A and B are shown apart, each in its own frame.
Chain A
Amino acid sequence: MVCTDTFSKFGRRIASTQGCPYIVIAETPNPIQDLAPDALRMRAEAMITTVIDGLTLPPAEIERRLADTVRQQIRPQGIVRSGTPV
């Protein structure tokens, strides 16, 4: 998954509802809407390693690396509403 940092936890949460909690997410700082093509390219290049990891690492290794992240992001402990996205 490729998304901005504002949406990455949310992206993992929604991916988990589709059975993919351990999805590899390449993230870049939000927002990107107004970036010029050159700046956008730099952002994309900075994410390439993560994209390659997501496409080539064995699933067991991805799960090992993401275990803590997944635990923290999908069911934020004790939070039932938040004025800033969690």
Chain B
Amino acid sequence: MTGSQADASAPAQQRLEVAHLSKAFGPTRALRDVQLRVAPGELHGLVGQNGCGKSTLVKILTGVYTPDPGADIAVDGRRLALPIRPMDQRQAGVAVVHQNLGLVDDRTVWENVRLGRYQAGRVLRRINRREEQRAVTEVLDRLGRPLDVNQPAGALSAEDRAAVAIARAMQDHRPGGGLIIFDESTRALGRSARSRFFALIRSLIDGGASVLLISHQLEEIVEATDRVTVLRDGAVVAGGLPTSDVDEAALTRMMLGRHLVTHGRVDSHAQDAVVAGVRGLATSPVTGFDLGVRRGEIIGLTGLIGSGFQEAAEALGGARRAEAGQLTVQDQVLALDRRRGSTEEFIAAGVAFVPERRLDQGLAAELSLADNLTLPRVRRRGGRLRIGAAWQAEETAAMIAKLDVRPPDPGAPVGTLSGGNQQKVLLAKWLAGAPNLLVLHEPTQAVDVGARHALIDAIRDAARGGCGVLIASVDAADLAVLCDRVLVFRDGQVTAELTGDLAQDDIVHATFGMAAPENEKSATKRRAG
């Protein structure tokens, strides 16, 4: 923490040196005094739970965000001006391969690789096509993946697409230097492709480059990387730990830590009566998902991103049209493969869906808190010719008090509230309708501790009132505190069902597909006993 010694005089010069990096979004602090050092010729891993600040870090390194004052970022000992400008980044030899690879599907391989670098003729400003293609072929050959550079990127296999994205990142690469950041880029690769991918990375490193690998696959971090840095809640909990010293379980423990506010687990409110049932839900990648939800029961859906738990939640909330399946709420049967665009029938049957992206899907930023909160009920509760002011004011006031929304101004545009308060308004919008089945997608994502507290209490309160609750989340802490049982998805199937006294570690182990190691189990037992 006392990083005030002159780092510049450190004997070995680092390829990437990040110091005192903080970033706050309003009241939420995404990164706190982060230090990160990547040595030349090193494969460095970066791990952490969703929302720990990994993507914020990458966005600062690529110049999307400006860090808070006081940060220091240096490449090969040369400090970069902040925010980082794309030209500086390129000149310093830093390249990023993004999560979704960032390819334009209907353009050719060479156009994708050379985007932003096209060399044009002097007079007619015409792109020198042959020269570009030659350059791209050369880079791909260097990667050991010769491809036809004239085919569209959309026609390639996942593996080749990754190669094209890597080629784009690597083309300016000077042997003996450079840093390539892979931001979850292995997700698209199959198991066999992955080993070839790492062979590729190894050859880059042998050529003198450094690699920062951000990944959810702890297995590959432990196997492939030299050292690893672990982020938790925006801070570094382990910096540059040699991976020869750690195993997956140890990494998991570091990633999780213990949250500042640990809600005590309270008794289940689950009753015997079933309030909702799901039969045969299929929505890519989910197949044949069945579920019975009892009154007052809180069920968690989790897994890795892409495992299907999010898609299942969206389909059950009416936000996504499934290929097959039906949802029964009370006695009403809803077809999940319906054609209708709006969620009207779902709402009428008492299903409420709190979506993940609150300002894209949940709330209209420019309209007022009261208007947003009452929207789903203006037709049901209002007359055809007049919505009626009284019930709106009453409902809004009650919900503002219940969730402690600040500022408590019903007329304030939702966009002016902080993220945590927006999330409270979003939850209130649906709780006010007293739903039978509440489907929540990442209900405490990117909110501060106080808001999380209020949200968790409100969700529990709804369950106490007899509402069945589904929570789709990657936040093991939330799930452990709230849920009666947790369903873990993998490749579209539920592969584990955790019940009883839930521990965060068990949820994470199941998510990452590992059996809980011995010492972990005994720790759980000790806690239970």
Physical interaction between A and B: no
- B residues contacting A by CB (< 8 A) are none
| A interface residue numbers (CB < 8 A to B) | none
